[in-house]
Amino acid sequence: MFPKNAWYVACTPNEIDDKPLGRTICGERIVFYRGPEGQVAAVEDFCPHRGAPLSLGKVVEGQLVCGYHGLTMGCDGKPVAMPGQRVRGFPAIQTFPVLERYGFIWIWTGDRTLADPAKIHHLDWAESPEWAYGGGLYHVNCDYRLMIDNLMDLTHETYVHASSIGQKEIDEAPPKTKTEGGTVITSRFMENVMPPPFWQLALRGNHLADDVPVDRWQICRFTPPSHVMIDVGVAHAGKGGYDAEPRFKVSSVVVDFITPETDTSIWYFWGMARNFNPKDKALTASIREGQGKIFSEDLQMLESQQRNLLAHPERSLLNLNIDAGGVQSRRVLDRIIAHERASTPQGIAATQA
């Protein structure tokens, strides 16, 4: 159960540089590749000849060639040519609106007439030379909403990430949650605490002392359909916390694009954008390695949680005050999905019946 009239991150550009990429997004089997002049194309991963996956083929001069019998497809989904055959009259396969922006490739799997590029999540840091970004991709067998829950309630850091970013003060600092339009914001501030190992690394990376008390913040922002951006950082205690001058702090944005594959699996594009020492490539690699390890620690928990929920669909779960961010995010999603369904011909018919 996920919105389809929305832009999702489908892949990164390097994933389609050399060959087609087959990927299921929101239940749709899609093949991504570079068409003429290098623009991104996305079509149904289904050869109209014998049903073979087009992603097992190759790209020749911007056209997708099926790896089974050599049927050549255009970016418009229409058959173009096939050795010894006349195929131009064959019906087209489905195509999808797709764009390359901010270092990601975005896909729209719903009503193509609503696919406005202006609706793509704006990323200030991706357009500024004063920021550096490093990230990666995990495939996770869980409902996309479980990952949203995970990211909107960082209390779990104390337990799941005890050796990297967790600390007992997270439990002691109550979060505050509010909703602004379709955005849900959960924030937590900790004063005069010792930095955990990951933030010690970041402090050293900005040439700051890492063995003194700091003020720490976590501001989680959920934006539909499934994007979570988290302002995180530490500043030497007493220097202004979140508002401290750059020379006293390290701060960044934890980037989380959660793209549903199926009802119980996701493509999780994770990363961190930072605005200190952006040209230090070694620091970028070091932070990326550390963050990748942190996120990998979530995978076992989320996949095990999903198996439990599937095994016990009748069980009701408890909602505590720390769950407010996830609960409100789900309410936003429920409203969007209900509106989307009511706007479809099937939904209108069901409403009128």
Residues 20 and 138 in one domain: no
pLDDT digits (tens, 9 = 90+) for 243-273: 999 999 999 999 999 999 999 999 999 999 9
Sheet holding 63-65, edge to edge: 58-60, 63-65, 72-73, 79-81
Residue 345: per-residue pLDDT: 61
d(CA 137, CA 79): 33
Q: Which residue has the higher pLDDT, 23 or 82?
A: 23
Q: Rounded mean pLDDT of 335-343?
A: 91
Mean per-residue pLDDT, 133-147: 97
Structural domains in the chain (count): 2
Same domain, yes or no: 84 and 180: no
Tell me whether residue 204 is in a domain. yes
Same-domain pairing of 91 and 27: yes
**At which of 52, 83, 118 does a domain end?**
118
Instruction: Dig out the tokens for 119 from the structure.
Output: 């609706």
Are residues 147 and 111 part of one domain? no
**Paired strand residues for 80:** none
* Percent of the chain topping pLDDT 70: 97
Do 207 and 328 sit in the same domain of this protein?
yes
Q: Compute how many other C-beta atoms are within 10 angstroms of the C-beta atom of residue 78.
A: 17
- Taking 50 as the threshold, does the pLDDT of residue 117 lie above it? yes
Q: Residue 46: which of 95, 10, 105, 100 has the closest Cα? A: 95
pLDDT of residue 346: 54
Model pLDDT, residue 66: 94
What residues make up the domain containing 36? 7-118
- Based on its alpha-carbon atoms, the radius of gyration of the chain, rounded to whole angstroms, reads 23
Please report which confidence band the pLDDT of residue 351 belongs to, taking 50, 70 and 90 as the band edges: very low
**Three-state secondary structure readout of the chain:** CCCCCCEEEEECHHHHCCCCEEEEECCEEEEEEECHHHCEEEEECCCCCCCCCHHHCEEECCEEECCCCCCEECCCCCEEEECCECCCCCCCCCECCEEEECCEEEEECCCHHHCCHHHCCCCHHHHCCCCEEEEEEEEECCCHHHHHHHHHCHHHHHHHCCCCCCCCHHHHCCCEEEEECCEEEEEEEEEEECCCHHHHHHHHHCCCCCCCCEEEEEEEEEECCCEEEEEEEEEECCCCHHHCCHHHEEEEEEEEEEEEEECCEEEEEEEEEECCCCCCHHHHHHHHHHHHHHHHHHHHHHHHHHHHHHHCCCCCCCCCHHHHHHHHHHHHHHHHHHHHHHHCHHHHHHHHC
Read off φ and ψ for residue 345, nearest 5 degrees. -55, -40
- Distance between CA atoms of residues 142 and 263, nearest Å: 8
On whether the CB atoms of residues 244 and 286 are closer than 8 A, the answer is no
Tell me, yes or no, whether 240 lies in a domain.
yes
Which pLDDT tens digit goes with each residue over 304-313?
A: 999 999 999 9
Domain end call among 67, 102, 118: 118
Mean pLDDT calculated for residue range 112-139: 95
CATH number at residue 328: 3.90.380.10
Residues near 274 by Cβ (< 8 Å), separated by ≥ 6?
A: 131, 132, 133, 202, 250, 251, 252, 253, 284, 287
Query: Is the pLDDT score of 214 beyond 90?
Result: yes
Please tell me whether residues 46 and 133 are part of one structural domain. Answer: no
Q: φ and ψ at 205, to 5 degrees?
A: -65, -20
Q: Which residues of 155-183 are buried (b: 16+ CB within 10 A; e: fewer)?
A: bbbbebbeebbbbebbeebebebeeeeeb
* 351 within domain boundaries: no
Residue 348, pLDDT score:
44
- Check if the beta carbon of residue 103 is closer than 8 Å to that of residue 13: yes
Range scoring the smallest mean pLDDT among 17-21, 28-32, 189-193, 294-298 = 294-298
Question: Poorest-confidence range of 73-82, 177-186, 209-218?
Answer: 73-82
CA dihedral 61, 62, 67, 68 (to 10 degrees): -100
Within this chain, do residues 165 and 227 fall inside the same structural domain, yes or no? yes
Window from 159-173, 200-214, 339-353 with minimum mean pLDDT: 339-353
When pLDDT is averaged across residues 60-71 and rounded to a whole number, the result is: 93
Burial class (CB in 10 A: 0-12, 13-18, 19+), 310: exposed
Does 353 score more than 60 pLDDT? no
Banded pLDDT at 84 (limits 50, 70, 90): confident
Task: Kindly report the average pLDDT of the chain as a whole number.
Answer: 92
What's the pLDDT at 178?
96
State residue 77's pLDDT score: 93
Share of the chain above pLDDT 90, in %: 77
Shared domain check, 104 and 203: no
- Residue 236 domain-assigned (yes or no): yes
